Chains A and B, each alone.
Chain A
Amino acid sequence: MALFQIFDPTARPTPIGIDLGTTHSLVAYTVDGRPECVLDCDLNPLLPSVVHYLQHGGVMVGTEGKGKAALHPRETLVSVKRFMGRGADDPETRRLGPYDFAMPEPGQSNTVRFKVHGRTVTPVEVSAEILRALRTQAEGKLRTLGGAVITVPAYFDEAQRQATKDAAKLAGVEVLRLLNEPTAAALAYGLDKGRTRGTFAVYDLGGGTFDVTILSLDDGVFQVRSTGGDAQLGGDDMDRLLAEWVFGHLEIDSAQAAPGLVRAVLDAARTAKHDLTDRPDTVIAVDVDGVTFERSIRRTEFEDIVRTVIARTTPAVKRALRDAGLRPDEIDGVILVGGSTRVPAVREHVQSLFGQEPLSDIDPDQVVAFGAAIQANLLAGDGAKDDALILDVIPLSLGLETMGGVAEKILPRNTTIPAGRAQQFTTYADGQTGFEVHVVQGERELAADNRSLAKFTLRGIPLMPAGAAKLEVTFRVDADGMLTVTARELNTGIEQHIEVTPSFGLTGDDVERMLLESYEHAESDLAVRQLRERITDAERVIAATEAALRVDGDLLDEDERAELDGALKALREAIAAQDGKKVHLRTEGLDRATHPLAERRMDRAVQHAMRGRAVQEIEDTVRDRPEHPHLAASYAKDMESEKETR
């Protein structure tokens, strides 16, 4: 889907990178390969991730919206990212905060809903407002946008990723790729310093999420070795603990406090936290019913209060190192990401975990957006062979519920994406005609303890004795980390294919409806928009086909070439005639006609890659290996380092 607006058809649209953060969001782009942030009118790159809903429709986003939080705490949504992809009954909704939540009505999907001025909004809609504001900001600077890379915490699960994509769709932002935040940061660091190899750890403590990622850089390929974290741990938790401490001194039960006071105390806590970054003490001041409460706090007191939050990052770091098969001293550099890493106690903690001073020469608030912009630029380019490449992983194991409620892992955590695997199952009862497929995500032994992503039933299996049916379930995760599951009965070929719509997410219908409801699209003529999108798609396929023919036209014989030329001509005629339906059909036709060419081009590219230096190296090393038993000794040494890396 192409939704960018066209001002000057000859200008190359600028791809953008978006860091959709818990506390604030940024949009960046590249100039000659170097990243820059889009600045607002005050020359500030940070847009507070705050959306204020006005009484009679309309929103105020960013600093303006933030200014409304104290007076309108329930109508001003702060840190909405913490609620993305969460169920209405999620524990997150019961934590300290000023919001009023609505439970889903019958027939509504089980997602968090905020009550705002007598209506409800979902986190996806709130995030879409933030993305829309960023888009507007970017268009002001760059005119024509060419698709976006949006970052997500590495530890975001399927539901949270889908929610982010839905928000982009609502905001009319074309998503080139979802990119994991720590990987984005590493990309910015790796390319900035012209480094070509090394092993890095990224410690990313944001407002609401914690990620740790271990990755290695080799010849411009960033390969993630392991990732871990906590999707609900961040600077917000420090604010909350400090706010509870303030409530304690006020002798007020925070659970009974008015939403306005909760907001005010949380804000005062955050300000104090920021003050204590470079001062040994500060004063927390809150206005309570017209009386100002003041109390001084020393940094050491603050550190005692938030120690538990910082300590909660330790197990994830240790596990990530173990999963990567590395000791802390094997890490060449530790990259700090996220505003919360400004807290001195966090830095000290990181230093003690890795035994080295962390790197922070790129602004930890901007580094993720920089990486996203670099990736967007790479994706929008022509895929030159020596461009940097990211090989990321899935953060959480994906599996199925099997007999006895046990979760069987099909794709374990830290599997490189894109990934796919098929597993066979059989029926356990005679004459069983249906087979329930329950897809779960997580590391726990029992399916019930993991996150349930989807349930569907493969039906119509003919009567067979137990164990005779052969069911094959295929998991496929694309480069965005999105899962598709296919189930097939092998004897009959009965098949079901689902894009996993997480149980806590919005359905495709929900998103379509919201799209129609949003003022922007209701005003525009749907048919015109559709025609424009189809023509854009068609032109893309034409351009790609022509480029392929220029380089590898020799791979086709005369007949094949004639067929392809015919399909190209037919599609151009449909575009000239502005016939949307024909454009769509003939785009598909051209796509089909290019398959032989695409196949052979890929074969050629693979052969080329295999013929390169690597073949020689592999053959040499195999030939040079001393024979057994001496081999066993040197080999055993390899195993030692290898075993832990699996």
Chain B
Amino acid sequence: MTDPFDLLGVARRFSLDRAALEQRHRDLSRTLHPDRYVQAPPGERRMALDRAVAVNEAFRALRDPLTRAEALLTAHGLSVGDADRPSQALLLEVMDLREALDEGRRTPAKVTALLEQVRARTKSEENLLAAVFDGETPPDAAALARARDALVRLKYFRRFEDEADDALDS
């Protein structure tokens, strides 16, 4: 897949202006969306469809901080996959959170408090990612390794947030 930052023409950084990103996505959609090619010959229609799909995928990747961090690591040549092992500390932390969620499941206030706690953790990981990727100089190997660990933690926190949200719904 083409690098999403290149495709959307935005700086390869972790922090980005969401409104400007959305604006860019709208501008490219106006140009490439299949609705603009209904009257076009089939070959051109297919070509536009391929590009519109790529633009939407790139937008999706950059819109969410988690996938944006993945894209940044990929752009720096680090493979990111399910193979990334969580640390013992992370596993313990998430296990504790899960237990607390199970116990508090019936009490929305408790679930909300847990969510707040995890969101704060998420925020600090995101600050770490911004520090790695948005500096004056490109990140070195050690910084990239830190970023990858932060990403693994983000993934676990995200999963927990989803579960907690579901618990609030039910």
The stretch that binds B, out of A20-28, A433-441, A590-598, is A590-598
A416 to B123, CA, bound (A): 26
Task: Check B121 for interface membership: any CB of A closer than 8 A.
Answer: no
Indicate if A327 sits at the interface (CB-CB under 8 A). no
Known contacts A378-B35, A609-B31, A617-B23; A646/B47 CB under 8 A? no
> Is there a chain A Cβ closer than 8 Å to B66's Cβ?
yes
CA A617 to CA B18, docked complex, whole Å: 11
A621 within 8 A of B: yes
B34–A614 touching, CB < 8 Å: no
Q: A383-B37, A591-B42, A614-B23 are in contact. Are A646 and B64 (CB under 8 A)?
A: yes
Which of chain B's residues has its CB closest to A422's CB? B1
Across the interface, which residues of B come within 8 angstroms of A391, CB to CB?
26, 29, 33
- Could you tell me if B56 and A602 are in contact, using CB atoms closer than 8 angstroms? no
Residues of B within 8 A of A307 (CB): none
CB distance from A64 to the nearest CB of B (A): 35
Inter-chain contacts of A619 with B (CB < 8 A): 11
Contact A609 B17 (CB under 8 A): no
With A590-B41, A594-B44, A631-B134 in contact, is A383–B34 under 8 Å at CB? no
A383 touches B36 (CB 8 A): yes
A-side contacts of B18, CB under 8 Å: 638, 641-642
Asked if A221 contacts B30 (CB within 8 A), the reply is: yes
Chain A residues with CB under 8 Å of B65's CB are 639, 642-643
Tell whether, in the assembled complex, residue A610 and residue B28 are in contact, meaning their CB atoms are under 8 Å apart.
yes
Which single residue of chain B is at the shortest CB-CB distance from A605?
B31
Contact between B57 and A421, CB atoms less than 8 A apart: yes
The stretch from A163-171, A356-364, A539-547 touching chain B is A539-547
Interface size on B, residues (CB 8 A): 59
| A639 engages B126 (CB within 8 Å) | yes
Interface residue? A615 (CB, 8 A): yes
Given A595-B47, A638-B18, A643-B122, decide whether A606 and B29 contact each other with a Cβ distance below 8 A: no
Query: In whole angstroms, how far apart are the Cα atoms of A318 and B52 in the complex?
Result: 30
Q: Beta-carbon contacts of B111-133 to A below 8 Å, as 1s and 0s?
A: 00000000100110011001100
Beyond A322-B169, A417-B56: 8 further Cβ-contacts under 8 Å? A378-B35, A380-B38, A479-B34, A591-B42, A618-B10, A628-B127, A631-B134, A640-B123
A residues touching B (Cβ–Cβ < 8 Å)? Answer: 176-177, 218-219, 221, 223, 315, 318-319, 322, 378-380, 382-383, 385, 389-391, 415-421, 476, 478-479, 540-541, 543-545, 590-592, 594-595, 598-599, 601-602, 605-606, 608-610, 612-615, 617-619, 621-622, 625, 628-629, 631-632, 635-636, 638-643, 645-646
- Which B residues lie at the A interface, using CB under 8 A? 9-11, 13, 15-18, 20-24, 26-44, 47-49, 51-54, 56-57, 59-60, 63-66, 119, 122-123, 126-127, 130-131, 134-135, 161, 165, 169
